[in-house]
Amino acid sequence: MVDMSQEMPLNHFVAANGSTSKEQELWLQQLEGLYFSVQPALSWALVGTGFIGSIGNILTIIVFARIGWSNTFQVSCTALAVSDLCCLLSIAMAGITTMGVLGRNFNESTFYYISNIFGVAFSRTTALITAWISFERCLCVTFPTRVKLIVTRTVTKSVLLAIFTVNCLLIVSTIVSFRVRNSIDRQTNMTLMDEEQPKLNGFRQFIKLLVGVIFPAFCWISVTISTAFLIVKLKQYSTWRRLNAATSTIWTTQTRNVNASQIHSLPIKERRAMKMVAAVAGIFLICLTPTSVHLLVSFLVRDYFVDGSLSYLFKLDAMVCLLATQINSSINLVVFTILGHNFRSELFRLFSGGLSTRCYGCCSTR
């Protein structure tokens, strides 16, 4: 799991490696200074983004509830908003602990670790739901007439329930694998969470491999393929529409493009949904890139981890990855509002209805 709390003094790294040159020592000192100068700003960014994004996801859930879950796409998007909300709140609480406003060394307490575990786990849930939504839209394009028989609301609810169940099991198993009690590290004089259960070391490594490598790689590959497929289909539809607008006569059977006709046969709601999914998936891939690079480097570079000589670089990159994760979980409301006609109308109706109610209340009291 991503851990940014254990801050070892620089002289500990230098003493552990007697061959460290003066240039390396100077570079590590500069890296340490950069981390402590940037950390407050990143912590505030995590808290602010989490607060704003949480409001956006709550509005998303309310709007979809008002629209009604009449199709699988709306059910999946609501589940995505729930996962994003949990991810944002968890990372925001982890950001608050790094600021030290709740007490001395509070960012090393059990609460910080639990918040961090929840944040990483729900970010993986968001990734899996995004992969499912992308795959579902691909099925809608490939089998437009049979998709309602393949992906029903029952199937969608079952898949989403399975994703959330796996997420909860990962959270519980990760917390249980640690000994939840505080201890003092004599070298750093900081409060740490114990990991004194040798029998569970292999189990913890499996969880780290699953959450840190398998899930991100699977989601990255599946979302990339699905997004590319949707973009190609959208371009084909755009080409068909331009040709159809430039031609006053109906195409003959010999000149008709099969793929274009398949896209044309899709309802306008499906085409709008394709655009929304492509936008959400594209933003997801962009925001996932820092995390993917961070995980890859952590596996390739031995000193690039929380207790290594590149500890401050690791923790700085980890905070940037968490911020990118929060941005991904916060921006879906904007995408749904811009590209979703029904969503935008219901959102405006929600605010206009509340404004009308307040105005009516003010007028009635006069």
How is 184-206 classified by DSSP, letter by letter? EETTTTEEEEE---GGGHHHHHH
pLDDT beneath 50: ranges in the chain: 1-19, 105-107, 185, 187-190, 196, 248-264, 356-366
Superfamily of domain 23-245+255-348: Rhodopsin 7-helix transmembrane proteins (1.20.1070.10)
Convert the pLDDT of each residue in 107-117 to its tens digit: 455 677 778 78
Taking alpha carbons only, the member of 69, 78, 223, 254 closest to residue 137 is: 223
Do residues 340 and 295 lie in contact, with contact meaning Cβ atoms separated by under 8 Å? Answer: no
Look at residue 256 and give its three-state secondary structure: coil
335 has which bridge partners? none
Convert the pLDDT of each residue in 50-105 to its tens digit: 999 999 999 999 999 998 888 888 999 999 999 999 999 998 888 887 766 555 54
Tokens 């029903």 identify what position?
Answer: 152
* pLDDT for the residue 16: 44
Domain locations along the chain: 23-245+255-348
Do residues 130 and 80 lie in contact, with contact meaning Cβ atoms separated by under 8 Å? Answer: yes
Helix (H) or strand (E) holding 181: strand 179-185
Q: Which two tokens stand for residue 216?
A: 């991100």
DSSP 251: P
First vs last Cα of the chain: how many Å apart?
59
Q: Distance between CA atoms of 78 and 172, rounded to whole angstroms?
A: 24
* pLDDT for the residue 339: 86
* pLDDT for the residue 46: 87
* pLDDT for the residue 179: 58
* pTM for this predicted structure: 0.76
Look at residue 162 and give its three-state secondary structure: helix
